[in-house]
Amino acid sequence: MPIYEFRCSSCRHKFEKLCQLGETGENLKCPRCGAPKPNKIMSSFRADSADSLRGSRGDSCTTCTSRNCSACR
Ligand SMILES: [Zn+2]
């Protein structure tokens, strides 16, 4: 499950929230002041690291000699 960062539009408080995929955070409230609909901050570093990890493993498998092994991923 991805963690999204939100910033309150009222008091500028920044907080992280574990979200279901596709959740927009419109039903969230600021934990500090209770203002609804915090702004979602786009943080793509988790997706980037996942992509690079997948890419490096795609070149050659570390557990078998196959170049394209879906079995040992
Ligand atoms: Zn707030």
Domain that holds residue 10: 3-59
Looking at the domain assignment, is residue 70 inside a domain?
no
Measure 13 CA to ligand 1 centroid, in angstroms: 5
The answer as to whether 55 is a domain residue is yes
* CA-only gyration radius of the chain, Å: 18
Beta carbons of 47 and 36 less than 8 angstroms apart: no
pLDDT tens column, 25-63? 778 999 999 999 999 987 655 555 555 555 544 455 667
CB under 5 Å of ion ligand 1: residues: 8, 10-11, 13, 30, 32-33, 35
Label residue 22 by pLDDT band (50, 70, 90).
confident
**Residue 13 falls inside a structural domain:** yes
Q: What angle do CA 33, 8, 22 make, to 5 degrees?
A: 120
pTM of the model: 0.53
